[in-house]
Amino acid sequence: MVDGKPEEDNWMVTWEDLLVSFVSQAPWALVILIVVIVMNARLRDELNERINRLERELNERIEKLRDDVYRRIDSLERLQLGIAAILVSKGLLTREEFEFIRSISEMPGSKSKYYTKADEEELRRLWSKDIDEYTEEDVEKILEIALKIRAEGVETGRRDLIDAYYMIGAFAELMKVYLLVKRMKARKAQKETSTQSSNP
């Protein structure tokens, strides 16, 4: 006690004092172990930070690559549909060619999960229709079933289902063009008829 006051500053122990006391008394092996644990924790944090940064950069690159691939696919699809439209409008891709494409497309047997028995029956019904009797709803239904065939093939690893999807899907896409050109020709003929009627 100094001047009637307790010497608080003399008996209070800081964390630094405890650490120095512990290090001075602990065996060197324990000190080394603690240092290694601290270094390992720091390295682990640094490594996790680097991994997270690389994952972010990789995800950004993958996203850019995916967008580029989709743009290219979209351009190719537009090109192929444009070519098909020209062939149909010029009479170079007629119902006979569509019949041939349909004839070489194998009709896969139904499975249980995606491509069901009801889907197979519906596809066979649509497949048997006359080319000129197809409607846009029919074509959309064929595409819908084709996607189910693809999903079944991807999950089961069945290459024959994937091949069937490509052929059936290609036929449906060409039929969309065929119907579009037919509709455009019908409108053009109707317009010409109306013009002739108004100008005797």
Query: What are the tens digits of pLDDT across the range 116-164?
Result: 889 999 999 999 899 889 999 999 999 999 999 988 888 888 888 888 8
Instruction: Flag whether pLDDT at 172 surpasses 90.
Output: no
Q: How far is CA 60 from the centre of its chain?
A: 16
List the one residue out of 13, 19, 54 whose CA is nearest residue 38.
Answer: 19
Instruction: List CB contacts of 51: < 8 A, sequence separation 6 or more.
Output: none
Q: What pTM did the predictor assign? A: 0.57
Residue whose structure tokens are 């070519």: 83
pLDDT at 157: 84
Residues 2-60 have pLDDT tens digits of 455 454 454 455 656 655 665 565 566 565 666 667 777 778 878 888 888 888 888 88
Using the CB atoms, write b or e for 40-59: b if 16+ within 10 Å.
eeeeeeeeeeeeeeeeeeee
Between 34 and 104, the higher pLDDT residue: 104
